[in-house]
Amino acid sequence: MVTLDREHILALPANLSYRLAVDGDLDQLRDYRLECGWGLERLERFWGSPDRPLCVFSIVDQGGRAKDVGMGGWILELEDDGEAASREYGSVQLCKCTRGHDSQYTPSSRVKSSRR
């Protein structure tokens, strides 16, 4: 089992990092959805669901300062499509939403867990 710490920031390639979203991020996440033009209703409906954890993406500059640039998340369980996201079958959907000139819709990706 993987446990994610809400305060942990994981550095990824190309100065990209993320942290799990907390209640104080909700207005910012709403703004991202409004700017991109999709998904606000789903954000409102699934906020706080353990089956849909969300994160805030940041770009870290050379001075170590992080600038929030978007959001993403994991869908861990879909009741109507177990092959797309299911703890039982070890599949997860990933999604992202970026802002500003980087705003674009990217369909959810399906990722198969290596556990079995």
Query: Cα angle vertex 17, ends 85, 10, to 5°?
Result: 75
Cβ-contact 98, 69 below 8 angstroms: yes
- Two structure tokens written together for 25: 């991020």
pLDDT class for 83, splitting at 50, 70, 90?
confident
Q: In the prediction, which pLDDT does 56 show?
A: 92
Q: What is the pLDDT of residue 96?
A: 76
pLDDT score for 36: 83
Backbone angles phi, psi at 23, to 5 degrees: -50, -35
Residue 57 phi/psi, 5-degree rounding, is -90, 145
The position carrying tokens 């990722």 is 111
Strand 91-98 with 16-20, pairing = unpaired
If you average pLDDT over residues 104-113, what whole number do you get? 42
pLDDT tens digits for 1-57? Answer: 344 444 444 444 467 788 999 999 999 999 988 888 888 999 999 999 999 999 998
The per-residue pLDDT for 115 is 45
Task: For residue 94, give the amino acid letter.
Answer: L
Q: What is the mean pLDDT of the chain?
A: 76
Q: What is the mean pLDDT of residues 56-66?
A: 84
Q: In DSSP terms, which residues pair with 55 in a beta bridge?
A: 20, 72
pLDDT exceeds 80 at position 87: yes
Confidence (pTM): 0.68
